[in-house]
């Protein structure tokens, strides 16, 4: 039997819902924890941020002054009522809680749940709780046992994920239980990417949850083709207050039903529909609903090498007036799926898009244009009015092991720094840009990077409005590190071509190089210094 300390040792390992392998999230938590120790003025606000979201109930249990571990489980000892002040104080900070799917190293004994029930004393255990995220494989788990204790009239959003949604108890107990707290409920989400086809919830959901006054609904069952064609029409009749709707659902025949009222979804202002028919528009959604779409996601199953591959889809999409956002993703995350840039350009030419997101592995410009910047230039020259552009991140190489042999595929051609300059000139309306580059790559004319390389051709009359830039520097590991002069040149270049830039961040990548990211942190610090000096000299600081 081992006594547990009252105070958390690091304040980091259990107070953030994001998995520990997310470096940026852990770094943020460490900074907030350090900030809480600076002075009294920072202490309370920093702790509020740290305890805003929890990965489970264990962080609160650790505040029990007499908590012990018996046989690998937390067991609270009997204490006086006046000694639980810290528990109650910190429970008021919690706004969101994540239950599952990973099991903690130390389990929570049922005695702990009994103690938590005592602390309720007819009042909400987490009185300021706003969001519940529950993920599980199904069955009667400890997380489900905690659900009645944490439900509160203050809850605004509930998210369910995993096969838990398709167990019998979900329709008979979990969903009705959650729907007993409808006062502040605004958002409801159900997501399950598995192939589970057990207990259908279609009729039960509209019957039980149809009275919720929610304005945001997300239903994503991409691999469960059991939806009856009439389901979408039932949603339209039950949820009249919806302003935002996301659907990734499919019928057995991939055919739509016309059983939907012309008055369905009267308040809808945001509609995101996911299509999984390669380059075509999926037929699972009623045509009337498709015409209301503001965002469309297309999942492609293989590389798109035909210029006119999306022609049929574009013929349908061009008739949708509110459409402003297109995402193209790949169905198989670990495959090398690429898209011909000339096949994507018609989306910018025929549609009035505000956002284009390409989540595939690569963007091709054709066999005669091996340089990555050619594909970017093709997109930059197509259409106008785009506010957000996310280009494929790609990766350096792929390894596989046939007959115990290691095979390394050719390294992709990543865009050079000059691509940023071209985008700044041609897409001056952009507010957000995310892409991968190779800071060591030579330009098309063979010239290596240097600030003077671009100064002669720069047009200062076309000022970029970019606010947020996300980069992944795919500079080869064999390439020499950037010198101090090169870092200064890059910082000066970024401040010149993106004078309104507010943030520069590095994209997460499996091939992330800590030293390279640190160099870009230095570049960003220099860029901000150049910007402050420029604004000071111009009198706008």
Q: What angle do CA 95, 98, 100 make, to 5 degrees?
A: 165
- C-alpha angle 397/469/23, rounded to 5°? 60
Q: What is the pLDDT of residue 137?
A: 65
516 pLDDT band, cuts 50/70/90, is confident
Residue 333 DSSP symbol: T
Give the domain ranges of the chain.
Answer: 1-132, 412-541
Using alpha carbons only, give the angle 265, 271, 272 rounded to the nearest 5 degrees. Answer: 145
Burial of residue 377, with CB atoms counted within 10 A of its CB: 0-12 exposed, 13-18 middle, 19 or more buried: buried
Please write the tens of the pLDDT for every residue from 433-458. 999 888 887 776 656 665 666 665 67
Q: Tell me the pairing of strands 295-300 and 270-275.
A: parallel
How much of the chain exceeds pLDDT 90, in percent?
A: 34
Say yes or no to pLDDT of 295 above 80: yes
Lookup result for tokens 């300059």? 421
Collapsing DSSP states into helix, strand and coil, what is residue 379?
helix
DSSP per-residue codes, 295-317 = EEEEEESS-B--TTTTHHHHHHH
Whose tokens are 């529950």? That residue is 134
Whole-number pLDDT of residue 68: 77
Q: Which two tokens stand for residue 511?
A: 């091939």
**CA 95 to CA 110: how far, in whole Å?**
24
Comparison of pLDDT for 9 and 180, the residue scoring more: 180
- Which of 37-51, 100-114, 262-276, 504-518 is least confident? 100-114
CB neighbours of 531 closer than 8 A, spacing ≥ 6? 495, 499, 501
Interatomic CA distance for residues 434 and 472, integer angstroms: 8
pLDDT beyond 80 at 254: no
Nearest to 94 by CA among 42, 144, 57: 57
């Amino acid at each position: 039997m081992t006594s547990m300390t009252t105070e958390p040792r690091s304040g980091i390992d259990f107070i953030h819902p994001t998995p520990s392998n997310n470096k940026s999230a852990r770094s943020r938590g460490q900074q907030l924890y350090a900030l809480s120790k600076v002075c009294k003025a920072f202490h309370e606000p920093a702790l509020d941020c740290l305890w805003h979201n929890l990965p489970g109930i264990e962080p609160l249990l650790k505040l029990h002054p007499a908590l012990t571990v018996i046989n690998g489980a937390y067991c609270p000892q009997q204490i006086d009522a006046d000694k639980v002040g810290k528990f109650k104080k910190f429970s008021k900070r919690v706004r969101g809680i994540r239950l599952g799917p990973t099991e903690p190293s130390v389990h929570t004994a049922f005695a702990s749940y009994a103690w938590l029930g005592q602390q309720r004393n007819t009042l909400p255990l987490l009185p300021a709780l706003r969001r519940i995220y529950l993920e599980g494989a199904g069955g009667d788990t400890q997380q489900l046992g905690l659900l009645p204790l944490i439900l509160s009239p203050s809850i605004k959003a509930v998210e369910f994920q995993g096969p838990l949604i398709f167990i019998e108890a979900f329709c008979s107990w979990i969903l009705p239980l959650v729907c007993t707290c409808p006062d502040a409920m605004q958002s409801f989400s159900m997501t399950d990417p598995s192939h589970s086809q057990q207990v259908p919830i279609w009729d039960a959901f509209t019957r039980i949850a149809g009275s919720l006054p929610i304005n945001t609904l997300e239903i994503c069952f991409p691999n469960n083709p059991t939806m009856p064609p009439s389901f979408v029409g039932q949603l339209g009749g039950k949820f009249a207050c919806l302003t935002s709707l996301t659907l990734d659902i499919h019928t057995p025949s991939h055919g739509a039903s016309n059983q939907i009222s012309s008055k369905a979804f009267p308040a809808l202002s945001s509609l995101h529909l996911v299509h999984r028919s390669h380059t075509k528009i999926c037929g699972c959604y009623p045509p009337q609903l498709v015409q209301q779409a503001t965002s469309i996601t297309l999942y492609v199953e293989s590389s798109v090498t035909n210029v006119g591959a999306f022609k049929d889809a574009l013929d349908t999409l061009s008739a949708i007036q509110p459409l402003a956002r297109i995402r193209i993703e790949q169905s198989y995350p670990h495959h090398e799926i690429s898209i011909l840039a000339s096949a994507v350009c018609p989306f910018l030419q025929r549609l009035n898009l505000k956002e284009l997101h390409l989540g595939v592995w690569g963007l091709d410009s054709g066999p005669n244009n091996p340089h990555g910047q050619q594909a970017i230039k093709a997109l930059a020259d197509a259409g106008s009015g785009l506010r957000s552009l996310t280009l494929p991140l790609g990766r350096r190489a792929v390894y596989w092991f046939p007959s115990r042999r290691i095979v390394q595929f050719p390294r992709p051609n990543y865009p050079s720094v000059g691509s940023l300059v071209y985008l700044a000139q041609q897409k001056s309306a952009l507010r957000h840009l995310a892409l991968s580059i190779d800071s060591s790559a030579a330009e098309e004319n063979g010239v290596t990077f240097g600030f003077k390389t671009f100064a002669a051709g720069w047009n200062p009359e076309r000022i970029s409005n970019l606010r947020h830039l996300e980069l992944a520097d795919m500079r080869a590991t064999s390439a020499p590190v950037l010198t101090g002069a090169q870092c200064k040149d890059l910082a000066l270049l970024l401040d010149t071509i993106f004078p309104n830039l507010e943030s520069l961040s590095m994209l997460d990548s499996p091939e992330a190089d800590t030293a390279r990211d640190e160099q870009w942190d230095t570049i960003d610090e220099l860029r901000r210094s150049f910007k402050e000096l420029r604004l000071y000299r111009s009198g706008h600081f």
